[in-house]
Amino acid sequence: MSDEIARNSNEKDAVTSRLPLAIKSIAERFSLQLIFSLPFMVQFLIAVSLIAFVLFRGGQEAVNSVLKEMRQEVLERVHEQLSRHMKEPSRLNRLNADAWEAGLLNLSEPIVRERYFVNHIEAFPDVAMTFVGLSDGTFYGARRKISGEIQIVRNNKETGGDSWYYSISEQGDAQERQEVFKRFDPRTRPWYQTAQLVREPTFSGVYRHFVFLEPTITAAHPIFDAQGKIIGVFGVDYLLSWLGDMLRGIPVGASGQVFVTDADGFIVATSALKDPFEERNGKIERIRATESTNPILQMAARSLFVDGQNISQEVSLDGHSYLIDTRLFQENGINWRIYVVLASEDFLGKMEEAVHRTAVIAILAVIIAFFVTIFMSGWVTRPILRLNAAARELAEGRLQLVSDTERKDELGQLTRSFNNMARQLMDLVTNLEFKVAERTKELAEKTDEAENVRKMLYAELEKAGLEQRAMLPIGIDNSSLRLKILYEPCMLVSGDFCSYLWMKEETVLFGYLIDVSGHGVSTALQTAAMNVMIQETLHSNLSLSERMTELNHRVAGYFRDDLLVAALCFELDLDQGELRYVTAGITEFFADSKTAKGRIKTPGLFLGVTEELEFEEYSLPFVQGDHFSFYSDGIADRLNEGSEIPLGTTFEELVEAMNHIGAEGVRHDDVTVICIEVGVVKPTAV
């Protein structure tokens, strides 16, 4: 028995002594990369697993479950209020149209008409005005003043094209005339033209009401006769102040916000701002959500400005986390987007503290793993230091081969590869200068060839620009008229052109100005085609509006749909002392006369938008010494940005002022100006 025990003990000691040798033999079979990485990977995975388990299972799920439900409730509440309120203007227009079709609303009977509009505006407290504009230019309706008083409006032959506003009796009948708005034609208003174009109920964009100074939207409803011809358009000006009040009343925490934007990203209403408008360059303009001065609102709009989707996202701003949800509101022809922003800190402060404690534990675990890795790397990487020293010597141009080439592990392979690389690198440096010189010569030859092509193209464009400028007529300088043309292309060739022609034995000066969108050769060719089209219309005995209509038909048939063509035609009748003009896209000019001062703005859509466009002819009387300037967008854009044309100047000062504005405008667009002075007795050089 004792011999057997001794034999078992010896066998156990032999196994124990062979165990380190077996472990060493097994370890030598694995790469150093695995031996170096394994401890770090194990501890890092433990730390990451701990962080993921505590943060995501213990905190993130709770945050998402609580706040997601709250965001959806807010979105649903705002959507329901919008759905209920925004039906009102459409419903009122529908009531008016149905009453007209049923014969209950007789627009030719003043008492019936006025009592009808008064009763309906009293029934809708958020309606600022309900009205109808007819195809003959008449305009009727009722409006609410800021004091709550209701007025009725008349605009017909009796008022001479002006809008007369009357106070009303208890029965809704007109009494005392209180206000007059001159020369109001409903057919020129955007709500009428849009409804006439789309031929169905529609909404305008949001704007600031000129009386209530509140955000407002106009609903338009066209009516037609049996042949489909438009008779008129019913309209409702609907105040949106209720929306901002409702949003500000929603509890979303100290840092949360709720706001609504339109399809173009402009703010409709918000809980963070009292007014969705701001003053810029002396003008009241809408605020784009992505340009708001409120950092949270701007961040939310920029993060989730994706059309056609209801999405949610978590973002950070100044170290704070925000949860953002959006929902589309697309009803009654309106395309808006609702945003709700909630700050996690406002609702789950204690939970975030627990998350922070967990994060501290995770960081400590990572630090421990880091120090363990440093200890392991010191044991593994000492041979690598010799490679590092040799690499520095090689970088300074000295070749120093590394020993340890007999090792069988990865370090040995790395050493042999380094030595081979060092030899090849020294050979490469020796021949590099020669190869660089050859390549530099090749690149220089290609650069010279490209420069020659560029100079050739520039010379051709410069020649085309000179030919284009040569087509311009010379100025006029006589006792009855002075005319000066200013013409500067943004690039070498221009998309603008202008000209004039004496008619009726030189008593009528016909002139025109063309502006085709874009720059360069293609727009110059399109402008030349437009010039030919206008010249062809001069051989027919047509009025200005008929000429513009004929020109619109030609543009719609010959030019592509994405091209914007603007034009302005005028006639200066010296016998009648009258300026007649028609606009299409170029919607303003400058006048310094007895009857008109400053920028004269006239509506007119671009040519070729539709073949059904009709253009209206306008007129201004003039006397000796009156000044007029017709110009393209290169001038108009600068005027919109704050530049001014002085009044009461001489003709030379007017030309100099236009030259000064054009010098700035030509940096961005083509500049074309026709300056005219009527009745200069003593001619001077122009």
User: pLDDT tens digit string along 70-104?
Assistant: 788 888 888 888 888 888 899 999 999 999 998 88
Residue with tokens 């006792």: 479
- Note whether 243 and 82 are within 8 A (CB): yes
Which stretches does DSSP call E strand in 109-214?
127-134, 139-144, 150-155, 163-168, 174-181, 202-203, 207-208
Cα dihedral 302, 306, 307, 310 in deg (nearest 10): -110
- The predicted pLDDT at position 23 comes to 58
Cα 96 from Cα 254, distance rounded (Å): 45
Q: What are phi and psi of 637, to 5 degrees?
A: -65, -40
Residue 685 has pLDDT above 50, yes or no: no
Phi-psi map region of 648: left, alpha, beta (phi>0 left; psi -120 to 50 alpha): left
User: pLDDT tens digit string along 168-194?
Assistant: 988 888 899 999 999 889 999 989 999
**Where is mean pLDDT largest: 308-312, 517-521, 604-608, 609-613?**
604-608
- Note whether 310 and 324 are within 8 A (CB): no
Of the listed ranges 230-234, 432-436, 500-504, the least confidently predicted one is 432-436
Is pTM beyond 0.85? Reply is no
Q: Which residue has the higher pLDDT, 557 or 549?
A: 549
Cα 617 from Cα 594, distance rounded (Å): 20
Residue 419 has pLDDT above 80, yes or no: no
- Note whether 590 and 581 are within 8 A (CB): no
The residue among 239, 247, 234 whose CA lies nearest residue 207 is: 239
Of the listed ranges 50-59, 106-115, 117-126, 434-443, the least confidently predicted one is 50-59
Cα 336 from Cα 90, distance rounded (Å): 16
Cα 613 from Cα 285, distance rounded (Å): 30
Largest separation between any pair of C-alpha atoms in the chain: 148
Mean pLDDT of all residues in 249-265: 84
Distance of CA 549 to the CA centre of its chain: 32
Which amino acid is residue 233, in one-letter code? V
- What is the DSSP-derived secondary structure letter of residue 323? E
- What is the DSSP-derived secondary structure letter of residue 381? S
Phi-psi map region of 345: left, alpha, beta (phi>0 left; psi -120 to 50 alpha): alpha
Cα 74 from Cα 341, distance rounded (Å): 10
Helix (H, G, I), strand (E, B) or coil at 480: coil
- Which segments of 317-348 does DSSP mark as H helices, in order? 344-347
- The predicted pLDDT at position 167 comes to 92
Which two three-digit tokens encode residue 11?
């066998």
- What is the DSSP-derived secondary structure letter of residue 108? T
Residue 686 — very low, low, confident or very high, per pLDDT cuts 50/70/90? Answer: very low
- What is the DSSP-derived secondary structure letter of residue 592? E
- Note whether 332 and 220 are within 8 A (CB): no
- Note whether 233 and 218 are within 8 A (CB): no
- Note whether 653 and 606 are within 8 A (CB): no
Residue 682 — very low, low, confident or very high, per pLDDT cuts 50/70/90? Answer: very low
Pairs from 290-299 (Cβ < 8 Å, separation ≥ 24): 290/265, 292/267, 294/257, 294/270, 296/255, 296/257, 296/272, 296/322, 296/341, 297/257, 297/259, 297/267, 297/270, 297/272, 297/273, 297/341
Residue 654 — very low, low, confident or very high, per pLDDT cuts 50/70/90? Answer: very high
**How does the average pLDDT of the chain come out, rounded?**
81
- The predicted pLDDT at position 3 comes to 61
Of the listed ranges 142-156, 262-276, 335-349, 436-450, the least confidently predicted one is 436-450
Of the listed ranges 67-81, 95-109, 645-659, the least confidently predicted one is 67-81
Residue 238 has pLDDT above 50, yes or no: yes
Q: What are phi and psi of 469, to 5 degrees?
A: -65, -30
CA atoms within 13 A on the CB side of 425: 16
Which stretches does DSSP call E strand in 101-138?
127-134
Residue 343 has pLDDT above 90, yes or no: no
- The predicted pLDDT at position 34 comes to 59
Residue 571 has pLDDT above 90, yes or no: yes
Cα 567 from Cα 583, distance rounded (Å): 6
Residues in CB range of 582: below 8 A, 6 or more apart: 544, 545, 547, 548, 568, 569, 570, 604, 615, 616, 617, 618
Mean pLDDT of all residues in 292-300: 85
The H-or-E segment that residue 75 falls in is helix 61-85
- The predicted pLDDT at position 154 comes to 93
Cα 214 from Cα 128, distance rounded (Å): 10
Mean pLDDT of all residues in 222-243: 91
Give whole-number Cα distances, 682 to 480, 484, 530, 678, in Å. Answer: 9, 16, 36, 12
